[in-house]
Structure 1
């Protein structure tokens, strides 16, 4: 941790504060901005003071360090009224699940040692299942660790498949002329834009309307298939005949590893894709106004087209 940040944390002492992990990411940065706009005090956590600067300019306090350091996290959580806990995925990890568990253990220890009483953990739909869910298994492990904490109110926020994952198709369209993955083209499943997650998280954190160990699924605007997504994206980028191909596991793994994803993470993502194909990753809560978000795949297609245009 930087010395200036140690001083900053000590100076504010026990004031009400929201600690936001991974504050430079898509969800963490938006959450921090929402809280700051509400006039709340926010401690933003990240590895780079440079990347945190836009939030500091708006009045946030920085805690710069590594989440692999439990002491750093403990000092950062002290004085926080509530914590937004998120484990940024390392797609180059040799053992993805083990890395999640290591960081999860640090988060749990920091919560215990700092005395924070409200924690919102960003998990995933499918974390209720013990196996066959690929990368989600690590999130389940961390949920289980958090659930063992006594005297701490935990909310597991479980969004579904991120629409942003579809951006991997930009390069594929440019290089191969089609979209594709290991997921079947006709299987419908829920997708969510990450911009819709932060407002829900902010509302829960400010209201602290959760107790003991609660779960809130976020299901996006509606369920869609990859065939539907491809048609919508194709029309938006001027390729109305764009096709979607389901790749074999071998071809999918090669594509992932060629992009820098480790062998272990590639295998975990393939297992997740198979779980989607088999209908294993199923939501547990009936779709309601509270778990349905606003951004449609048609609206996200505008962003996809912008990325496609500049790539």
Structure 2
């Protein structure tokens, strides 16, 4: 039995479909079962609730061989680290209590980074806590998600630009969420691995944001530019949207770490995934743009 958290998210939903296609026994933890695909509701066991609740995990984990762990983002959390640790402490105790042998967690690349890195540091703290469960653990260590750009689709279509805080002429490691699901599915269905390790997983490109803009322009058939936003301006934007000081700090520290190369050491040894940025644009970004325009 494989237990999957966040089964309606971008990664979890793809993972559940892959596992069911392989005829695996799947149990999902979900806050709102109505958001599950109909086929998933028919074929997977469903435990309703949040995986930061010990009672929910006590329903979900009996008999489980493996657990897929992802902490859902919460921009309103007072502290990213406490948010991640609140889930991880409950999860680690439940994994130990139910003797779950293998856990695959979604984390960040850059373990060992010597400076505070906001949300990324929170993921590292989560990994450390989950290791205390004693289960075999793989921290899938990810760079920038290509899907983050979907949140800027209006700007891409309306203003011909997307924005990040990193330098436009330095490579930005990235990955497609479908590839994260693919790596996770492989680990969860072949439990021959042991020990506790970080597993950096990166897409095959070494594109800069300027290079990403060129690819987007070619695939969408319209000019798209990259515009760098300063950390100060981004912090001001977050505050204008009601973010508190700690939330702003958590996000801007993470972006500063990205800009200063937090992913670089892992890039040299990362497991490459199949989806390059151009393929992702064709398969995901362009259909989303076409749907928005129709």
- TM-score of the alignment, normalized to the shorter chain, above 0.5: yes
The structural deviation recorded for 1:259 is 5.9
Q: Which residue of 1 aligns with 2:290?
A: 309
Match of 1:181 in 2: 164
Which residue does 2:279 correspond to in 1? 299
State the alpha-carbon separation in 1 of the partners of residues 244 and 74 from structure 2: 9
* Corresponding residue of 2:194: 211
Q: Displacement, 1:309?
A: 3.2
Matched with 2:183 is: 200
Identify which range, 173-182 or 256-265, moves more after superposition. 256-265
Q: Is the 8 A contact 2:92 2:132 kept in 1?
A: no
| Superposed counterparts of 1:89-238, under 5 Å | 89-129=73-113, 131-150=115-134, 152-238=135-221
Deviations 1:171-196 (A, max 9, x none): 22345442222111011021100001
Q: 1:248 aligns with which of 230, 235, 255?
A: 230
**Structure 2 Cα separation of the partners of residues 211 and 146 of structure 1:** 15
The residue that corresponds to 1:4 in the other structure is none
How big is each residue's C-alpha offset from its partner over 1:114-164, in whole Å with a ceiling of 9 and x where there is no partner?
Answer: 1211111111111333533221111111111122233x2111111221101
Change (3 A) 1:92 1:189: same
CA distance in 1, matches of 2:49, 2:57: 8
Is structure 2 residue 35 aligned with structure 1 residue 51? yes
Q: Aligned to 2:63, which of 66, 72, 79?
A: 79
Say what the alpha-carbon RMSD is for the aligned residues: 2.1
Distance 1:223 1:208 in 2: 32
Q: Please give the TM-score of this superposition, normalised by the length of structure 2.
A: 0.91
1:60 matches 2:44: yes
Task: Find the counterpart in structure 1 of residue 258 from structure 2.
Answer: 276
1:13-24 to 2 correspondences below 5 Å = 17-24=1-8
- Gaps spanning 5+ residues in structure 1: where? 1-16
Structure 1 CA distance for aligned equivalents of residues 247 and 212 of structure 2: 25
Instruction: Report the Cα offset of residue 56 of structure 1.
Output: 3.3
Shift in CA distance, 56/236, structure 1 to aligned 2, threshold 3 Å: closer
* Residues 17 and 40, structure 2, Cα contact 8 Å, conserved in 1: no
Alpha-carbon separation, structure 1, partners of 2:168 and 2:272: 23
TM-score (norm 1): 0.86
Question: Displacement, 1:247?
Answer: 1.2
- Give 1:67 shift: 2.2
Number of aligned residue pairs: 291
Q: Is the 8 A contact 1:219 1:287 kept in 2?
A: no
Task: Report the Cα distance in structure 2 between the residues aligned to 1:222 and 1:28, rounded to whole angstroms.
Answer: 24
